Amino acid sequence: MLAIVCPGQGSQTPGFLRPWLELPDFRSRMTWLSACAGMDLVHYGTEADAPTIKDTAVAQPLIVASGLVSLLALFEHPVEGFRSVSAGAGHSVGEITAAAAAGVLTAEQAMVFVRERGAGMADAAAVTPTGMSAVMGGEQSEVVAHLEAKGLTPANMNGAGQIVAAGTLEQLEDLKADPPAKARVVPLPVAGAFHTEHMAPALDRLSAFAGAISTHDPRIPLVSNKDGLVVHDGTKVLERLVTQVSNPVRWDLTMETFKAMGVTGLIEIPPAGTLVGLAKRAMPGVETLAVKTPDDLDAAHRMVREHGVLEDDIEPAWRLVIAPAKGTITRAPLAEGDTIRPGETIGQVVTARDAYNAVAPHGGRIIEWLVEDEDPVSPGQPLVRLHPAGA
């Protein structure tokens, strides 16, 4: 099973787009997305220096556009990606890239949305000088307690012994001088305390724009960085894209979901490297690849062939409803032969923290249940098989 992951802010480096412009049509596609974003992303990805592309209003559109255009080199025809990728996810702003790649948003919608996200978060960050630092090592509960005692927010729970702290620059300086036990603190090249209450002004701005965006349901299982859930509803994906600006990122739970789904190969798209580094430590046994330049495409194409699951491009004779999370299934009172509507709930998955509805995105007639009531299930596990007729 193949997962595609999309990096977040801080992954960009000066000139990272330069080798990609040698590919046919890459420049013209970046120019088109630049028009949508209202800025010259080709310039920022090739000529601009590190302080310039650290600017949130620049970094976020640059990261999303470069990811979307580079995916066309990995999958020249989008349907190939939809047919072979078993899961997708994005870290922070990379979740916009993942949503567009999964068909929830168009590329143009994604660029307008990320333009407003970046501008809104930059404005919010300008109110109070804030930032973020990675805390490497230490025991997780002790690190979190140490951060909270200093008034900091554990904004990114990245797994593999990494937690990102966010807060004011004074709080981060205090943390650097007094790190948690057995941990070291590394300042990050970002311009604000993202995924914290400091970003609340951006939340209102994005909520207003989201009301005008039409969505489609994801074409592949999309794992949310909020809680590791598989989200099937396009409107729910958009809601999460809005609220994530002030909510912590749980990349640790995202990787746990990948493992539970049985992912065997993971490819990170440009600007790549960060998420593969986390996966190597947290997902042992999974083949990983950071696609940094076009020189990595041959290896990426091989991984798609070896780990991708290809299906015939025909109308399915049946469809599966899968579990959104790890937990215990409580089935709805539905029997084989019953017809259910698109979006109808077929049961609930109860976890240690909450209960989540298992929804049939397309509807249809129940052919067979694949689980019994109260069975333990994993995210992505098939629960019921449907025939599309009668949906």
Residues tagged active-site: 92, 195
> d(Cα 96, Cα 68) in Å, to the nearest integer?
10
Distance CA 358, CA 195 (A): 27
Q: Is 20 helix (H, G, I), strand (E, B) or coil?
A: helix
Query: Within 10 Å of residue 372's Cβ, how many Cβ atoms?
Result: 8
As given in the structure block, the two tokens for residue 279 are: 């996966």
Which residues neighbour 182 within 8 Å (Cβ) at sequence distance 6 or greater?
137, 138, 139
- The count of other CB atoms within 10 Å of the CB of residue 133 is 24
The neighbouring-strand residues paired with 288 are 266
Two tokens, residue 264: 């065997």
- Decide if 207 contacts 242 (C-beta within 8 A): yes
Q: What angle do CA 64, 54, 149 make, to 5 degrees?
A: 105
Q: Which value, in Å, is the radius of gyration of the alpha carbons in the chain?
A: 21
Task: Locate all alpha helices (DSSP H) within the chain, ordered by sequence.
Answer: 26-37, 41-46, 50-54, 56-74, 78-84, 94-101, 107-127, 140-149, 169-177, 200-210, 234-243, 251-261, 274-282, 297-307
Are 306 and 266 in contact, with CB atoms under 8 Å apart?
no
Task: Provide the β-strand partners of residue 167.
Answer: 131
Closest CA to 225 of 206, 257, 251: 251
Instruction: Extract the tokens encoding 340.
Output: 């259910």
The H or E element that residue 385 is part of is strand 382-387
